[in-house]
Amino acid sequence: MILIAVISLGAIGAVGAVFLYAASKKFEVYEDPRIAQVQEVLPGANCGGCGYPGCAGFAGACVKADSLDGLLCPVGGGPVMAKVATILGKEAGTAEPMVAVVRCNGTCQARPRTNSYDGTKSCAIASTLYGGETNCSFGCLGYGDCVNACAFDAIHINPATGIAEVDEEKCTSCGACVKACPKNIIELRKKGPKSRRIYVSCVNKDKGAAARKACANACIGCGKCAKECPFEAITVTNNVAYIDYTKCRLCRKCVAVCPTGAIHELNFPPRKEAAPAPKAETVKPAPKAEATVKPEATPKATSEEKTNLN
């Protein structure tokens, strides 16, 4: 009986194995081996900054795409994309390097604290409970959700200002801090030539007087920057200005006319000071041309005068 049971179980196992093998072949999903090769050269951060769910998803997108244009690993950058292009036999796409920008300039001096928060030090939690410790309900809360989300140590809270600051040398534009900020004050912008950028460091949508009362550095939506911009790169929506980095030509005319200093310019050389106008007393008047007096012609003597003289 025991022998029969062993043989029966062995037969059942063999039949099951045959069925499982047939099913595995029938429903086998083919995976291009190049996906694994591409994934191997990727940095493995799985940050999602490329727009795909991790490095495996990005590798699959690169293999399936006809061209690598528009595909970029923000962590690896150009060198990694060159390796990907070599593996796939395609040309590496070109993409503008991006960097995270914190659009808040509400320092402790410009935005005084009006109350104190004693709850959990989390921006996500605090933002659901109240507007913040100042009169500005749009600005940076300063509890560091963006810092915790960054895997590259590229963003920190400045203890002097209470505002998040980005280290552009470490930032990989993965977008993790953008997703973590409940106030939506962090955005990815084009890094710009020589890392030069111009942006409005404010998202306060209150009207001018209320915004200025809440923060001395707030954008008041006056529209002077939009009128000054010769490239139509600035729009004012919901009482706050925004600079479109795809249209901005970095002329800096908008910076000069902003009455609150809400528009920031980064990594530009110092402006040249205009030469002072000369004082009136130091200007010597031009010498006047002297009038030349022509000698009067001697009148000719008449015939009578000649006779008398004789």
19-52 confidence digits (pLDDT tens): 787 777 676 666 778 889 999 999 888 887 787 8
* 62 in any annotated domain: yes
Band (pLDDT 50/70/90 cuts) for residue 286 is low
What pLDDT score does 277 carry? 56
- Same-domain pairing of 116 and 168: yes
Are 207 and 79 found together in one domain?
Answer: no
Looking at per-residue confidence, does 291 or 176 come out higher?
176
pLDDT higher than threshold 70 for residue 204: yes
The verdict on 104 and 232 lying in the same domain is yes
Please report the beta strands in 167-304, taking only residues with DSSP state E, as ranges in sequence order: 186-190, 197-200, 234-237, 240-243, 263-266
- Stretch 68-92: mean pLDDT, rounded? 86
Mean pLDDT for the chain overall = 85
The pLDDT of residue 48 is 78
List the binding residues for [4Fe-4S] cluster: 47, 50, 55, 73, 136, 140, 146, 150, 171, 174, 177, 181
pLDDT score for 276: 61
110 and 221 within one domain = yes
Domain assignment present for residue 300? The answer is no
For residue 79, the model assigns a pLDDT of 86
- Does pLDDT of 174 surpass 90? no
Same-domain pairing of 131 and 259: yes
Q: Tell me, what's the pLDDT at 156? A: 96
Q: Are 49 and 173 in contact (CB under 8 A)?
A: yes
For residues 240 and 242, what is the distance between their CA atoms, to the nearest angstrom? 7
Return the half-sphere exposure (C-beta side, CA atoms, 13 A cut-off) of residue 13: 6
Q: Do 83 and 218 share a structural domain?
A: no
156 by Cβ neighbours in 10 Å (0-12 / 13-18 / 19+) ranks as middle
Task: Tell whether 73 and 203 lie within a shared domain.
Answer: no
Contacts of 33 (CB under 8 A, 6+ apart): none
- Which residue carries 């600051």 as its tokens? 165
For residue 121, tell me if it sits in a domain: yes
pLDDT at 308: 44
Indicate if 87 and 143 belong to the same structural domain: no
| Host domain of residue 73 | 31-94
**How many residues are present in the chain?**
310
Alpha carbon 188 to chain centroid distance? 5
Q: Would you say residue 282 lies in a domain?
A: no
Annotated binding site: which residue ranges?
47, 50, 55, 73, 136, 140, 146, 150, 171, 174, 177, 181
Residues 82 and 177 in one domain: no
Name the DSSP letter for residue 115: S
* Whether residue 151 is found in the same domain as residue 58: no
Round to whole Å and give the CA distance between 68 and 60.
Answer: 12
Percent of the chain with pLDDT over 70: 85
Output the domain CATH number for residue 206: 3.30.70.20
Looking at the structure of the chain, the number of domains it has is: 2
Residue 177 resides in a domain:
yes
Residue 172's pLDDT is: 87
CATH number at residue 80: 1.10.15
Distance CA 262, CA 106 (A): 10
**Coil, helix or strand at residue 246:** coil
Q: How far is it, in rounded angstroms, from Cα 166 to Cα 155? A: 4
249 and 104 in a single domain? The answer is yes
pLDDT in tens, 229-243: 999 999 999 999 999
> Is 63 a domain residue?
yes
pLDDT average, residue stretch 111-117: 89
Assign 129 to helix, strand or coil.
helix
Instruction: Decide which of 45, 63, 94 is a domain's last residue.
Output: 94
pLDDT above 50 for 123: yes
Largest CA distance in the chain: 186
Last residue of a domain, one of 94, 114, 131: 94
Predicted confidence at residue 284, as pLDDT, reads: 56
In a domain, 283, yes or no: no
Structural domain contains residue 181: yes
Check residue 104 and give its pLDDT.
Answer: 95
pLDDT at 199 over 90: yes
Query: If we measure between CA atoms, which residue out of 170, 222, 226, 168 comes closest to residue 197?
Result: 168
Q: What is the pLDDT of residue 139?
A: 93
The Cα 52–Cα 41 span in angstroms is: 16
Higher pLDDT, 269 or 273: 269
- Tell me, yes or no, whether 159 and 56 share the same domain: no
Handedness of CA 130, 132, 133, 134 (dihedral sign): negative
